[in-house]
Amino acid sequence: MPSKNEFVHESYQDGKSIQGLLKAIARGLGKGKLEFSDGDQTLELTPGGLLHLKVSASEDETRHQLSIRIRWEEHPREPSEKLLDVK
C-alpha cells in the first residue's frame, strides 16, 4: 500500500497575502501542476480530469469561516449537474 504524502501550513496573514496565494493555486490548477513547499516539507500534485469542489462558509457572533476543498482521483467521475453561484 502506498504511503500518504501530506503538506500542512498554518499562519496568520492579511487578506492581500491570502489573495496572492489563492491566485498562485489557481494558476497551478490551470497548468495542471501544484507545488507546495514550506521549509523541509515539499509536495507536488498533478490535478487532472474532473475535480471535486466543496465550498462551505459559516459564521457565528465571533467567528467566521470559509473552507475550500478540491480533490480528485486517478479515475475521474461524471460531471455534476449542480453549479455554484458566487456573487
In a domain, 46, yes or no: yes
Which pLDDT value is given to residue 58?
A: 98
In a domain, 6, yes or no: no
Q: Which grid cell is 48?
A: 487532472
Q: Per mean pLDDT, which range of 2-6, 31-35, 37-41, 69-73 is the poorest?
A: 2-6
Distance separating alpha carbons of residues 30 and 22, to the nearest angstrom: 12
Q: Which grid cell is 38?
A: 514550506
Q: Are β-strands 41-45 and 52-59 bridged in parallel, bridged antiparallel, or unpaired?
A: unpaired
In a domain, 67, yes or no: yes
SS3 51: coil
Domain count, the chain: 1
Whether the per-residue pLDDT at 81 is higher than 90: the answer is no
In a domain, 82, yes or no: no
Distance separating alpha carbons of residues 66 and 79, to the nearest angstrom: 24
pLDDT in tens, 27-62: 999 999 999 998 888 899 999 888 999 999 999 999
Instruction: Quote the domain boundaries for residue 52.
Output: 15-71
